[in-house]
Amino acid sequence: MTLTVQFQTMLAMVFMGIWIGMAVDTYSRFIHEKRKWHWLHFLNDLFFWLVQALLVFYVLLHVNHAEIRFYIFIALICGYAAYRALLENIYKKLLEWFVLAAAAIFRFLYNLFNSLLVMPIKWLIMIISGILLYVLKLLQRIVVVLLKILFSPFKWIGTLVWRFIPKQKWYNLKEKYLKVAGFFNSVKNKVSNWKGKKK
């Protein structure tokens, strides 16, 4: 391995150490914040460090064909320490600003979508529903009026017929009905008494 390749490898590993520091802070900001320990936490950590190891291996593969040397780990640690000492506060502020900006943009887009699409559709549905209810009530009233008009001749004819029918005949029919009903009741009582005596 030439000196140029070694220098490139060390420089790449320093940058990878800085990258790992940034990745740890980003991961902690989005995943670990205000969360209790459980098995999913462990799986997330395992997946995170596997991804970082694969990234370091990928960079090594392109720089020195993945040859492992002791100074590689030293360069990683130096890059990570440099990030913690010089860049951590700046990166955290930038990350927080980016999170707040992304949240503000998301809220703006959500409100815009809600104002331009959801609310007009909601108002349109409410207007259509109100129109349909009004039309149904109007049709109901029209049907009721038509039924009254259609049945009014029958009502008038019935009223006229009722006026010309002598009421005395109805009273006589009622008396006859009561006499017949009383006769059948007396027959029923006599049959019941006869069965009781026979027993």
Using one digit for the tens of pLDDT, what is the confidence trace for 158-184?
A: 777 666 665 555 445 556 666 667 777
- CA angle 85/89/94 to nearest 5° reads 140
Tell which of 65, 84, 118 closes a domain.
Answer: 118
Give the contacts of 26 (CB within 8 A, at least 6 positions apart): 95
Give the model's pLDDT for residue 155.
Answer: 73
- Asked if residue 36 is part of any domain, the answer here is yes
pLDDT over 90 percentage in the chain:
33
Cα 21 to Cα 88, 89, 133, 171, 178, distances in angstroms: 8, 12, 64, 109, 108
Q: Are residues 97 and 160 in the same domain?
A: no
Range 74-94 average pLDDT = 92
Range of the domain at 178: 130-186
Number of domains in the chain: 2
State the pTM of this model: 0.57
Residue 43 resides in a domain: yes
What residues contact 99, with CB distance under 8 A and at least 6 apart? 29
Tell me: do 13 and 91 sit in the same domain.
yes
